[in-house]
Amino acid sequence: MLAKLSSLVILLLLVPLQFSASWAASTSGLDKFVRCISLHSTLNSLQIPKAFFSPKNSSSFTSVLQSTAQNLRYLTPSVPKPEFIFTPLRDSHVQAAVTCSKQLRIHLRVRSGGHDYEGVSYASEIETPFIIVDLSKLRSIKVDIEDNTAWVQAGATVGEVYYRISRESNTHGFPAGLCSSLGIGGHITGGAYGSMMRKYGLGADNVVDARIVDATGRILDRAAMGEDLFWAIRGGGGGSFGIILWWKLNLVPVPETVTVFTVTKTLEQGATKILNRWQQVVDSLDEDLFIRVIIQPAKIGNTTKRTVSTSYNSLFLGDADELLDVMEKSFPELGLTRKDCIETTWIGSVLYIAGYPTGTKPEVLLEGKSTFKSYFKAKSDFVKAPIPETGLNGFWRRFMQEETALTIWTPYGGMMSKISESEIPFPHRKGTIFMIQYLSSWGDGDKYAEKHIDWIRKLYNYMTPYVSKFPRETYVNYRDLDLGMNKKLSNTSNFITSSVWGYNYFKKNFYRLLLVKTRVDPDNLFRHEQSIPPLPFRKRSRASWTATYG
């Protein structure tokens, strides 16, 4: 005991020499936080420089802040920066971070992969000062092929998870994201769709256990947290209920040979009629077949005239001959040929769909580097009935007004139609034909941001008659602060405003999420611009709430 106390005294003496950051004019907040972490965990003096990054004393601060930040809009000088970044090295360090955040009354944001579209995992528009708990050093992956499961830490990327599974088996996979640099921790909290969603559902549909740090600092698994909280964290959005440490994934079977293709059609090649046909059939195609459409403005040859390029990007869980047979019966209008088809392994399809050049080795997935970093604004929609050609033509005219526009249309149907809307918080199931992601990106910082954001808002408004209604459904992992934002420490106001965007993201599941939040985090420790707020009247029973709101 004396030795432990002596070590702690030495540690506390060393800390002020290494760091100094203040969230109050006269106190060193970082020093206090390091002392607190050291008291509540096994973090030692040798680990501190590897775990804390301060803008005043660490040349690595900017590098760490920017390392996984996807949307550069939230790294501009006008956006408040964290007081410091803490990168836990063990699960117990995350526990301590929660305890110390409460004790020292410093707001925390949690980042696993940094892909939040509105930057809420590494920026704060409503509350300063704040700190970032960055989980990037917690990236262990334990694959158990005999059990068909894998335990993965929240800081691992989707690409790393795919790679580790493929090293153990060429007939196992996991149905999550298309972008390999996504952090698995945050990705699954929003649902996690990917190229096998029509066969196996979402990543969140295939989670069988988890470990989470709750608002009291306890580490809970599924049995300890209870089914309500386990339900909420699988699709209810990140940053509301606790800090995910681990997911236990149910692995799914994949064939030894799969087939991928990309076929591109421009307006001059009949893109409108082909896309119209795609809308008619895509949700009823063989569930082994996933065909998304990537739509971008393009130039016509070497001229300055513009057109629209529609690229049909696909994964089929089978060989090319099987695929050609399915396409001939279901979607011959695309004109797929044997030459268009590439037979590969499942891990090869991961690289292909993610956009890596042909011949790229799977080890690139271990780098965890994002292939897309930009200043951007995005929105999303869910489509319940085919958009008529007149609607598509109006869309093309508006779409070509933006230089770097992008929209991706993702097919539903298959398993997505078989799972109940209330099975997990992600409600976009039966009746959805496809999802639309709209995106405008630019490279000139804040200078012309307003112009690009105004364009995407107008395009979104144009699409109103053609997409879901009451509510206009939106995907929480394509976060959109235009739908509304929480305010600092205002539970009543936040409850009212969140009912708008909450219903867009979760439909009726939002009300169950409110109840779970109120029970597990009544003081709203885990909060951000669009986190689930606790109810302002905590004593209302679940029965009375359900009777009132359904």
Token pair, residue 25, equals 């004019």
Q: Is the dihedral of CA 326, 328, 333, 334 positive or negative?
A: positive
Q: Which amino acid is at 517?
A: K
Measured from the Cβ of residue 536, the count of other Cβ atoms closer than 10 Å reads 14
Instruction: Give the residue from 199, 168, 118 showing the smallest Cα distance to 376.
Output: 118
Q: How remote is the C-alpha of 389 from its chain's centroid?
A: 32
Token pair 């405003």 is found at 497
Report helix, strand and coil shares of the chain as percent, to nearest 5.
40, 20, 40
Phi-psi region of 141 (alpha: psi -120 to 50; beta: other; left: phi over 0): beta
> Rounded distance, CA 35 to CA 48, Å?
10
- Name the phi and psi angles at 427, rounded to 5: -105, 0
Q: Is 511 a catalytic residue?
A: no
Contact 365, 160 (CB under 8 A): yes
Positive or negative, the CA dihedral 348, 349, 353, 354 is negative
The residues near 17 (Cβ < 8 Å, ≥ 6 apart) are: none
CA distance 381 to 365: 30
Please classify residue 363 by burial: count the beta carbons closer than 10 Å to its beta carbon, then call 0-12 exposed, 13-18 middle and 19+ buried. Answer: exposed
The two tokens of residue 341 are: 């088809």
Q: Which of 74, 117, 478, 505 is catalytic?
A: 478
In whole angstroms, give the CA distance from residue 440 to residue 442: 7
Element (H, E) at 434: strand 434-442
8 A C-beta contact, residue 162 and residue 175: no
How far the first Cα of the chain sits from its last, in Å, is: 56
Measure CA 519 to chain center.
Answer: 25
Residue 50 CA from chain centroid, whole number: 26
Alpha-carbon distance of 520 to 523, in angstroms, equals 9
Instruction: DSSP letter for 183, please.
Output: B
Pairwise CA distance, residues 14 & 258, whole Å: 56
Tokens representing 216 are 């009291």
Q: Identify which of 165, 113, 104 has the alpha carbon closest to the alpha carbon of residue 135.
A: 113
Neighbours of 519 (CB within 10 A): 17
Active site residues: 478
